[in-house]
Structure 1
Amino acid sequence: MTSPLDDAMKRLDAALGLLEAAVSRRLDAEKRRGSLETELQLMQDDRSRLAEELDGTLTRLHRFEAATDDVGRRVQLAILAVQNVLAQAGELELEEG
């Protein structure tokens, strides 16, 4: 037969084991939470950096589009000028011929 003191010591030992396991789980959860918060902050930083890069790229794209439109207009004017010169040259040939 075990004494009441031995029974109490066994219950205390079991309770301490449960407490240690709970503390260990809590510490692990806090560590994971800290890691998740760090990872979230890194992702938010990356998102901000990517948003800035996207804004810069869109700005450059708009500038290139404007430049392309300008070049297109100038080429069209050049084509018209060449066509006019050729038409005038053709008229001169007809008049001379």
Structure 2
Amino acid sequence: MPTEKTVKSALEALNKALSHLDNDVERQVEASRSSTEAAAELDRMIDDRSRIAQELDQAQDRANRLEEANREVSRRLVTAMETIRAVLDR
């Protein structure tokens, strides 16, 4: 009888250890999966940042061109008003 209890006790301890090992492995797999997902998300964020930076540069270039065009239109309007005043003053 004592041998049966020892074997039974050893099997229970082995099953308990295997259960702990399974749980640890599962946690490691989940941690690895989370790490992989985080890395993929970081890659997507870097790609988005690059795309947004490019779009911002394009928008800034367009804004600069519009500002220059606005200055040119303003200059031409002033010239036209001065010409009209000169004609009317004659």
- Give the TM-score taking structure 1 as reference length: 0.87
Take 2:84 and 2:42, find their aligned partners in 1: how far apart are those partners?
62
2:60 counterpart (53, 58, 61): 58
Question: Match of 1:74, as an amino acid?
Answer: R
4+ residue segments displaced more than 3 Å: none
Aligned residues: 88
- Kindly, what percent of the aligned residue pairs are identical? 34
Alpha-carbon distance in 1 for matches of 2:31, 2:88:
83
* Residue in structure 2 matched with residue 31 of structure 1 by the alignment: 33
Q: Distance in 2 between matches of 1:55 and 1:33?
A: 33
Which stretch of structure 1 is more off in the superposition, 50-59 or 1-10? Answer: 1-10
- Which runs of no fewer than 5 residues in structure 1 stay unpaired? 89-97
Q: Which runs of 5+ in 2 are unaligned?
A: none
Q: Compare CA radii of gyration and give the structure with the larger one.
A: 1
RMSD, aligned α-carbons: 1.0
Q: Partners in 2 of 1:24 and 1:38 — Cα distance? A: 21
Structure 2 counterpart of 1:78: 80
